[in-house]
Structure 1
Amino acid sequence: MTFTLALVGRPNVGKSTLFNRLVGKRLALVDDQPGVTRDLREGAARLGDLEFTVIDTAGLEEATDDSLQGRMRRLTERAVGMADACLFMLDARVGVTPSDQVFADILRRSGTTVIVAANKSESNASEAGVIEAYGLGLGDPVALSGEHGEGMGDLHARLAPLIEAKAEADDDSLPQTDLDIEAEADNKPMQVAVVGRPNAGKSTLINRILGEDRLLTGPEAGITRDAISLTVDWDGTPMRLFDTAGMRKKAKVQEKLEKLSVSDGLRAVKFAEVVVVLLDAAIPFEQQDLRIADLAEREGRAVVVAVNKWDIEEDRQGKLKALKDAFDRLLPQLKGAPLVTVSAKTGRGLDRLHAAILKAHEVWNRRVPTAALNRWLEGMVAAHPPPAPQGKRIKLRYATQAKTRPPGFVVMCSHPDKMPESYRRYLVNGLRADFDMPGTPIRLTLRGQSDKNPYKGRKKPGPSKLRKHLQGPKP
């Protein structure tokens, strides 16, 4: 395993800013408001020639009860136990606070290697804070600025011997063979995003799949803010699961932080291969649920609809029939997509959800042979010929599959601009039914092919020109 560094400290000391600098991407949400980060976010970090895993944690709070702050603190303490070393971050402009003293004692008792970092040290106003950091008794502090990139060389010097010692002691640090690398390429994890309205149970569902309380959960709506990705081997299938923030109606999203959270979730949808739209069994298929499912379809992702909190439903047979009828009526563009009932609390239905995700991913990658596709096209035209707008018959010549993920088809025809939308839907529905592609988005492109003879109207060469052409150039 690689060396793991946990970034810990009070809220708003710059942990997420430094995390983004170390991973080289703006993955973690950053805002002036304290307490933005709530979940643990892992990333592959690089600092010069050093490569390691960095964990961004929630700001340490003094609460120890079951409140949201207390649960965030326990999650951060768990990250400290997982990590090989902790970077205890202070705000050098503020100096050492009583809370910093409390958390320094906690880290000292944990037995984990601790490096003190006096962040925001880019100005002269931070010198006093750096000097105060010596008094924590955790070694010499590193003065740095996560926002401006200052002090990264000093941090490198402190981390290098720790990472080297970890590599020497770890059996996994041996170089990979070609077979190992090939196996990793074959087992590239499937990208699965779980999306839905706030409080639908997305984090609880992923925790149940992982078999541990890795994500922060609770009765409060909108706990998740970042789109957190977690790698798991789910019943033999390598997957990267994305937990996203709950998406409310656009008119209700006013705060800047919530806008950033929703934007982060939308980005996860674009990078995913399969999108699980999680509904609440008590209030399924609300307007926002339909918008989220339609977004996933427009982005070309394979879609699985999961109805959560099924364990508290009483009339399950009647409710399931009503759900299927509503699904077919409200989401015709996803006709045939899997509809699965689950309980994130008890774990019931997760085997069906796993099978539905694999099936949706397989259909999303399906390729149809060109010969079979053209036989199908002939049958479709024979059963229902295309219209003749303004007396001009539209001729469908041949079809081919141009891409997968999602399946994309090209049909060469005359007058593609005059093809009515109803006939295009007829072809798409035929592809979906005849080649067993339920629920997956299908892209159909019509391209024109002229009936004109390309040589019509061209003058034939005269005898003299023909003779010169046959004789060739003079020597």
Structure 2
Amino acid sequence: MDLPTVAIVGRPNVGKSTLFNRLVGRKLALVDDRPGVTRDRREGDGSIGDVAFRIIDTAGLEEADADSLLGRMRAQTEAAILESDAVLFVIDARAGVLPADRPFAELVRRAGIPVILIANKAEGGAGMAGAYEAFSLGLGDPIPFSAEHGEGLGSLQDALRDVLPEPDEDEEDDGEGGKGLRVAIVGRPNAGKSTLINRMIGEDRLLVGPEAGITRDSISLDWEWRGRKIKLHDTAGMRRRARIDDKLEKLAVSDGLRAVRFAEVVVVLLDATIPFEKQDLTIVDLVESEGRSLVIGLNKWDLVADQPGLLKTLREDCTRLLPQVRGVSVVSLSGLGGEGIDKLMQAVVDASEVWSRRVSTARINAWLTDALQRNPPPAVSGRRIKIRYGTQVKSRPPHFALFGNQLDALPKSYTRYLVNGIREAFDLPGTPIRLSLRTTKNPFEKG
């Protein structure tokens, strides 16, 4: 099978070889803090989840005479760009955009192939200012990333999936040019995940039974719902770490976590007879922290359907217990009886669309002006906090950035007010929302 080709480019010492090693899954490229360690193009087979590609590590781009060693290294890099299907353009988020980055950004832009901008060394939120600065390169939304620690792989997987060609004609798609909506079914042991999936696909494909913990592996199955390709992931039941002693189960839980990270929509399946247990809330927290879109399924509804008003009560409980995903779809169903599956899948598709939604900068700033007038930010040490403007920096999940002064002093209650306002104004129910606050430096402030 011919894999699409991806080239990693950027100036020296931004972490290209560390990224290459991360994507091929082993230390093929020599890594050192000194710039210029990589000279020849190095190639390997890389992958993130189900996205596979041929990856090329290149020498750091530097201005140099064509006949010099640096000039020949640059020529090798330019050749790699021209033979690639996509380019990962890497900058150092901690250093920000340097003058040396700009001519090479122009070089890859002129090549006329898709470019994914990687703001590397942004682990733990460090270097976010440099990541936002990367917008000025004109290469699209930067992906905050840490090649060293593997942070940002899910976002990079989504970006690569959007730009890379199909590896061969047998590759599945969802009828709309994609490879199928990736849906993970997660929950506590014995919530009925495997029974539900068997009913969805119409065959006893997965082993089921009354005993908790039958499923050990994360199982991936291809399915079609109303003409749309779906890739279903059944996962092992998730229990609190303190209660997991068996090594196999630890591995199974970690496999389930991986399924969450690479899903687009996660269905958290609850047992309707004992819903919203502490572990259910912990699992929803995990899905939210991973930035995945979410649907809550109340399984075994046939056992409680005779209780009038119960669904309304449980939806109210959901709003109270899970404010971080306010408006999330709560669907009643029975995996055993096959009831509610269409409602569940429609909620899944709707959640995916909300998760992928983009809002124009003009609309964001019109909303922001109104929100600030209705409830101005508080003053700190006699000076009022000013929020000057906002923008959406990425989707999947929706991520917004606000710029102003003293934003690091903004109270959490006001941040919640802004997030809830964004959710309501732009119709983003149930999806995780990220909000970054960037303080613009005051040139008159004494350092």
Q: Give the TM-score normalised by structure 2.
A: 0.60
| 1:193 matched residue in structure 2 | 184
Aligned: 1:230 with 2:221: yes
Q: Which moved more, 1:198-207 or 1:246-255?
A: 246-255
Matches within 5 A, 1:30-41: none
The 1:181–1:307 alpha-carbon spacing in structure 2 relative to 1, beyond 3 Å, is closer
Matches within 5 A, 1:299-310: 299-310=290-301
Deviations 1:346-389 (Å, cap 9, x if unpaired)?
11111110110011000000000110110000000000000001
Q: Distance in 1 between matches of 2:384 and 2:313?
A: 43
Aligned: 1:350 with 2:341: yes
Matches within 5 A, 1:188-267: 188-267=179-258
Deviations 1:212-254 (Å, cap 9, x if unpaired)?
1111111111100000011111122211110000011222111
Q: Distance in 2 between matches of 1:181 and 1:258?
A: 31
Taking only the aligned residue pairs, the percentage that are identical comes to 56
Partner SS for 1:367: coil
Task: Give 1:321's match in structure 2, choosing from 312, 315, 333.
Answer: 312
Q: Distance in 2 between matches of 1:440 and 1:338?
A: 10
Task: Give 1:398's match in structure 2, choosing from 371, 374, 389.
Answer: 389
Counterpart of 1:227, as a letter, is: S
Q: Distance in 1 between matches of 2:418 and 2:268?
A: 27
Deviations 1:276-302 (Å, cap 9, x if unpaired)?
000001110101011001100011011
Q: Is the 8 A contact 2:172 2:179 kept in 1?
A: no
Q: Give the TM-score normalised by structure 1.
A: 0.57
Aligned: 1:381 with 2:337: no
| 1:464 matched residue in structure 2 | none
Q: CA deviation at 1:182?
A: 9.0
Counterpart of 2:430, as a letter, is: G
Q: Distance in 1 between matches of 2:400 and 2:207?
A: 43
Q: CA deviation at 1:187?
A: 3.1
Counterpart of 1:283, as a letter, is: I
| 2:356 matched residue in structure 1 | 365
Partner SS for 1:186: coil
The 1:361–1:399 alpha-carbon spacing in structure 2 relative to 1, beyond 3 Å, is same
Q: CA deviation at 1:185?
A: 7.7
Deviations 1:239-277 (Å, cap 9, x if unpaired)?
111000001122211111111111111111111111100
Counterpart of 1:405, as a letter, is: R
Counterpart of 1:266, as a letter, is: L
Q: CA deviation at 1:449?
A: 1.4
Q: CA deviation at 1:183?
A: 8.2
Partner SS for 2:365: helix
Query: Cα RMSD over matched residues?
Result: 2.6
Task: Give 2:264's match in structure 1, choosing from 273, 283, 287.
Answer: 273
Answer with 1 or 2: which has the greater Rg: 1
The 1:182–1:299 alpha-carbon spacing in structure 2 relative to 1, beyond 3 Å, is closer
Q: Is the 8 A contact 2:173 2:179 kept in 1?
A: no
Partner SS for 1:317: coil
Structure 2: gaps of 5 or more residues: 1-23, 26-48, 53-167
The 1:392–1:249 alpha-carbon spacing in structure 2 relative to 1, beyond 3 Å, is same
Partner SS for 2:342: helix
Q: Is the 8 A contact 2:175 2:229 kept in 1?
A: no
The 1:195–1:182 alpha-carbon spacing in structure 2 relative to 1, beyond 3 Å, is closer
Partner SS for 1:193: strand
Q: Distance in 2 between matches of 1:225 and 1:302?
A: 24
| 2:273 matched residue in structure 1 | 282
The 1:394–1:261 alpha-carbon spacing in structure 2 relative to 1, beyond 3 Å, is same
Partner SS for 2:389: strand
| 1:297 matched residue in structure 2 | 288
Matches within 5 A, 1:105-254: 176=169, 186-254=177-245
Matches within 5 A, 1:64-103: none
| 2:423 matched residue in structure 1 | 432
Q: Is the 8 A contact 2:173 2:180 kept in 1?
A: no
Q: Is the 8 A contact 2:386 2:407 kept in 1?
A: no
Partner SS for 2:297: strand
Q: Is the 8 A contact 2:172 2:180 kept in 1?
A: no
How many corresponding residue pairs?
A: 285
The 1:182–1:208 alpha-carbon spacing in structure 2 relative to 1, beyond 3 Å, is closer
Q: Distance in 1 between matches of 2:383 and 2:279?
A: 43
Counterpart of 1:436, as a letter, is: D
Q: Distance in 2 between matches of 1:309 and 1:183?
A: 30
Q: Is the 8 A contact 2:387 2:407 kept in 1?
A: no
Partner SS for 2:402: strand
